[in-house]
Amino acid sequence: MAKRKFGLFTAIALAGSVFLAGCGGDTATDSGGSGEGGEAKDPEFLSVLTGGTTGTYYPLGGAMATIIENETGIDTTAEVSQASAANMTALADGDAQIAFVQTDTAFYAAEGSNMFEGEVIDTVSAIGALYPETIQLVTTADSGIASFEDLKGKKVSVGAPASGTYINAEQLLEIHGMTMEDIEEQNLDFAESQESLQGGQIDAAFITAGTPTGAVESLSATADVSIVPVADDKAAELIEKYPYYAKDTITSGTYGLTEDVPTVSVLAMLVVQNDLSEDLVYDITKAIYENTDQIQHAKAKLIKAETALDGIGIDVHPGAQKYFDEVNK
């Protein structure tokens, strides 16, 4: 049972949306909450929470919103947001229906740990994983920063407090024998990090996003970008302690890099309110995973039904599970 009051959540959701039964003329079965006689009452408007405009979630979310609207006939809009942690809270509060989130952040929400300490969210479930969210420690070639140890005493952007990026930064510093107290912590979003690196106000920035990331690409247009590597032994140590991480590589040519840079990643995923019907979530899932050719972003090629359940640490919505069971059998 969520520590949030479910009755309030339901009241907000009902007051904020006008519902209709079924989808495409069919009567749907509501997996999370049903109307009279068991008929689903899904919204006639869907909101997809993404992230900041210079990250990866926003352009992908815009493309997915268009696909969902075209395939389901439901008005769907992508919304700018504060990304993972804020998105989980917004869905639990009934402020949106679908959201992008990091797999590690969703796991914390489900168990009530880290930024969700004492606040279990069990009214949100998974649609599926999308692509690796690469942890990028970004600096410039003239900063003198070549390793994590070089961050000591430097001004480093670590994202908003309690954000997914912040926790990633905290855990990577930990593995390198450091804490937030060893740096001059700056709580900036991706766009602010880019501008501050360009202006020399900060020395480095943690950015967790699919590559190439818009903010880092913009930085590379005016400065020589350098990405601090995560050594193989440190990556292995991190994964052993926090198994939702995976080894990753930022390839040569990205941001003008002249060689591959080893690092780590979590996964980006889509989550949805439990209250949406099984039929509707099935249709949403099918729309996304069968129309990735309509997404004009490099990460689209990584979005596959075959790997959509990899790394998912929370319950999968029955509608999404039904789709993956059909295509992966």
The DSSP code sequence of 58-71 is HHHHHHHHHHHHHH
Contact assessment for residue 88 and residue 59, using Cβ atoms and an 8 Å cutoff? no
- In a 3-state reduction of DSSP, which class is residue 108? helix
pLDDT at 198 over 70: yes
Position 12 scores a pLDDT of: 38
Contact assessment for residue 138 and residue 322, using Cβ atoms and an 8 Å cutoff? no
**134-266 — its CATH code?**
3.40.190.10
For 226, half-sphere exposure in the C-beta direction (CA atoms, 13 angstrom radius) is: 14
- In a 3-state reduction of DSSP, which class is residue 285? helix
- The helix (run of H) or strand (run of E) holding residue 132 is strand 124-140
Query: At the topology level of CATH, where does 6-131+268-327 sit?
Result: D-Maltodextrin-Binding Protein; domain 2 (3.40.190)
What confidence category does residue 16 fall into, taking pLDDT thresholds of 50, 70 and 90?
A: very low
Q: Name beta bridge partners: 157.
A: 186, 205
The amino acid at residue 98 is: I
For 169, half-sphere exposure in the C-beta direction (CA atoms, 13 angstrom radius) is: 31
pLDDT at 248 over 90: yes
Q: What pTM, to 2 d.p., does this model score? A: 0.75
6-131+268-327 and 134-266 in the same fold:
yes
Position 140 scores a pLDDT of: 97
Q: Is 304 left (phi over 0), alpha (psi -120 to 50) or beta?
A: beta
What are the tens digits of pLDDT across the range 178-191? 999 999 999 999 99
Least confident piece of the model among 31-40, 158-167, 260-269: 31-40
Contact assessment for residue 86 and residue 55, using Cβ atoms and an 8 Å cutoff? no
What are the tens digits of pLDDT across the range 126-170? 999 999 999 999 999 999 999 999 999 999 999 988 788 999 999
Distances (CA, A) of 327 to 38, 162, 261, 305, 321: 27, 37, 35, 7, 10
Q: Where are the domains of the chain?
A: 6-131+268-327, 134-266
Query: In terms of Cα–Cα distance, which of 94, 24, 56, 75 is closest to 210?
Result: 56
Query: In terms of Cα–Cα distance, which of 164, 170, 179, 172 is closest to 108?
Result: 164
Read off the tokens for 206.
């943690």
- In a 3-state reduction of DSSP, which class is residue 235? helix
Position 311 scores a pLDDT of: 83
- In a 3-state reduction of DSSP, which class is residue 33? coil
